[in-house]
Each structure stands twice: as structure tokens, then as C-alpha cells.
Amino acid sequence: MWSSAIFGSFARALIVALLLHIAPTDARQKCSLKARDQAVLHPVDHGPVPSPTSSTIIGTATVTFNGKPSASPIYNYSPYRYGMDKIRGVNIGGWLVLEPWITPSLFDATGNDKIIDEFTLGQYLDPGKAQTLLQQHWSTWITEDDFVQIAAAGLNHVRIPIGYWSIPLTSSDTKESTDSSPYVTGAWDFLLRAVSWANNHGLQVIIDLHGAPGSQNGYDNSGELTNNPVWAVNQGNISRTVDTIKFLAKTFGSDVGMIELLNEAAGFRGDDWANAVRQYWLDGYAAVRASGGQDVQVMIGEAFMGFDAWKNFLSYPGAQGVFMDYHEYQIFSHPELSRSYDDHINFACTYKPTLSTFSVTSLYTILGEWSNAITDCAKWLNGRWVGSRWDNTWYPSSDTQYHGSCDGYTGSYQGWSDSYKQFLRKYFEVQVEVGEAGQGWVFWTWKTESADEWSYQKGLEGGWIPQNPTDRRYPNICK
């Protein structure tokens, strides 16, 4: 028998779903990676490496770090040695693309239970109130202080998600519609600031197109939670996305390290989607090279199709400077949640030979999203008003499973056990080891309001993430 609180949360989620004509969905479904035969490696030429130059301090800026003002050096921008140096980075999630679980207070502030993503925020909230709410969020959630802290943590990359609706295309940039309604615009200026902050503090930027017209996957992190994403089945949507990438490449060029063509495109939805993604990668790559030059790197994703689908795709010499992005989470199904601490470690190790081999034989590969979470307990991780599989509040039925209480696994780390935090350190290190078997890694995410297991910032504070990402308590875990 469910408690009244659990039943109330579920009922509210179901009502919202019915209002939006969608069925209960997992907002962050993930597909498993199939390992490959590693017996024979056939290394490929990845093309020329950008010539390295040393960063030069050209001044100082006074910023606040951990509540205290300090002088921070300002660097000039220098090319990164992609393919030679390891990428060690963090995602700036929940800032320029909203996610309810990262900043639940922002959604609470709307006072509207039907607002479950950025699309419905623009749809149901008064335009003036929406603009005020988002301007306050953009101005305060991430500031230059965060970039100072990220650089001080020994990281060298930030991946910044942005939605198509925030990129100011005009009719001179595309033949397609430039309408962004119902989304609230205004985040573009903050992206420009972020690139400047990153360059000032010696960080490379990956601009990540996280949301496309019509939604590329139906997840709330694409901007719109829906069971009927239409990006791939509408050529106008795809063309507008290519033009958006062209605009980004023309605007930033080599002032950023990398442009990611699209986050988590849903190639698993059928052959039409898989074919559309494949062609879009080709067209998006061509757009970057035509408008942004040869120095900016281009990142594609495996689109939940597995690495074998991308053998010899966009490889040198037909293309150059192309990276493959892979995301690894072990929390979005009951079999994954049933794993012990050791099982999570051992399963992460199974990715290492595959990432290593694909990096050598096909495209440079990075672990572009991963976290310390081993439960889906973070509030609204599966969608606003939706519970977790772990404690059987995620659409509970006779077929679902109860793994345990969420207490001690999420929220503030202050109440966590020493054994759990010790595991989190080991889990962090094993995923770093896996990522660095390829070209590196980008942790998801820098900060959250109430889910410390997902926060790099809180991991540094709590000690399960080392102050220097190369430090190891558990070297060679996967040996």
C-alpha cells in the first residue's frame, strides 16, 4: 500500500502527463554499450594536431573564491593539443538549459504544477515573470567565480549546454523559421560571457547543442519532455539545426575548443531517426568546417546506436578533428540499480577496452557525461513530480522493485556514511580511468541545488573528488 504522500506525488505526475498528452517516460534513458573484440588493433591517422602554445598571463582579476576575494590571473587563449593531452572537464548543467532536478527551486518559484521543462515554462508562465525568473537564474547560478574554481580544481574543459532557442538566428542565417516560441530567449549573452570567462582562466570550451527544434530525444533536458519528438522526421527542423551549428561556428571559430553537434540524439527510435542522425553529423561537420575553419574540433555522439555503427565514419583524411561522445550512467533501470558497490566498479571497467579501441581505430572518444550517482534518488531526476525507481516511487506497480530508502544516497553529503563516501571516491577514480583510456572525460555536473552525488563542486568539498584529478587512491582499478 502506498503512503498518501507517495500516491499524491504519483497522481500529480500522472495528471501533468495527461494534460500534456504524454505517457510516463524516463527523461534520461540510456542504452548499453556492447564490447568489441579487442584482439587486433588497426590504428588510424586522426589528422594533424593543433600546434601548442603556452598560456600567457596578461593581467589579473579580483574574484570571490569560497567567499574570499582573491587575485586571479587572466590568460590569453591558447590552442589545446587535442589527441595528445587528456580532456579533464565538467559540464555546466542546468544553467542555459534548465533541468528540474538540478534547480528544483526555480520550478517551485513558477507556482505552476504543469511546468515540467523549459518548453512548458514558456508556455504557461507570464512572459514578463518568465523573463525575470530566468534572468535572475542566468545571472546567479553560474558566475565567473565558478570558472575560477573549476580551473583551480585542475580541470581544463567546460562543456556548456545551450538550446537552439537561445541562439539568435535571423532570416539571413536560415531559410527555415526563426521562431523560438514558447521558449524564453536571452541566454545567448551569458554564453558569450562564459566563453570569455573560460578563456580568461585557461579553460577550453565545448559548446554543446543540447536541444534541437522538435526535440531530438523527448527528454526534458532537450527543452521539451514529450513522447513524440519530431526533430528527425521534419527536414525543416534538421535544416534549422545545421544552420544553428553554422552560426555557432561562424561566431566562435577557434575561440572555443570544440562544438558538439547535438546531445543524445535518439538513434534508437528507428531507421528513419538513425539515418537522419547519420546525415546530420555529415552536414553539421561540413557546416563547422565551412564557417569555423579547421582548428575547432567537432564532436558527434553514438546516438544510443553502439560504437560499431560508427566504424570508419568521419575519419581522417575525409574528415579531421572529430570526436565521439559517449555517456555512461548505471541508474536508469532496475538491473543497474541492483548492482553492489563492487558490481558498479566492475561494470564500469567493461567500458575501458571498448573506448580505448574505438579511440585508436576510429575516432577520438571521450566520456562526455557520467556521475557519482548509483541511485536515481535525486529529486525529480526522472522528471518533475516523478519519483525514483530506487524507492519504488517511479510509477509503482506490481512489476516494479524496491531497492531501499533514498536516505543517505542523495541530498546533502553531511549525513552520508564514511563507507559511502569512500565508495564514491573509488567510483570517481574508476570512471576517470575509463575516460582516460580514450581522450578523457567531462563529469556531469558542476553543481546542483540538492543532489550532492551529482556535484563536482560538492565532491571537492566533501573529499570524494580529489583536488587534483590526477591523484589516485586506487590506481589501476581495472587491471
Give the active site residues: 264, 369
End-to-end CA distance of the chain: 46
Q: Are 378 and 448 in contact (CB under 8 A)?
A: yes
Q: Are 158 and 92 in contact (CB under 8 A)?
A: yes
The rounded distance, in Å, linking the Cα atoms of 32 and 138 is 34
Q: Are 445 and 102 in contact (CB under 8 A)?
A: yes
Q: Are 454 and 444 in contact (CB under 8 A)?
A: yes
Angle at CA of residue 430, ends 204 and 403, nearest 5° = 115
Dihedral, CA atoms, 158, 162, 168, 169, nearest 10 degrees?
110
Question: Which residues lie across from 61 on neighbouring strands?
Answer: 72
Region of residue 390 (phi > 0: left; psi between -120 and 50: alpha; otherwise: beta): alpha
**Ranges of H-type helices in 186-310:** 188-200, 235-252, 271-292
Q: 32 φ, ψ to 5°?
A: -80, 150
The rounded distance, in Å, linking the Cα atoms of 2 and 64 is 47
Residue written as grid cell 531501499: 404
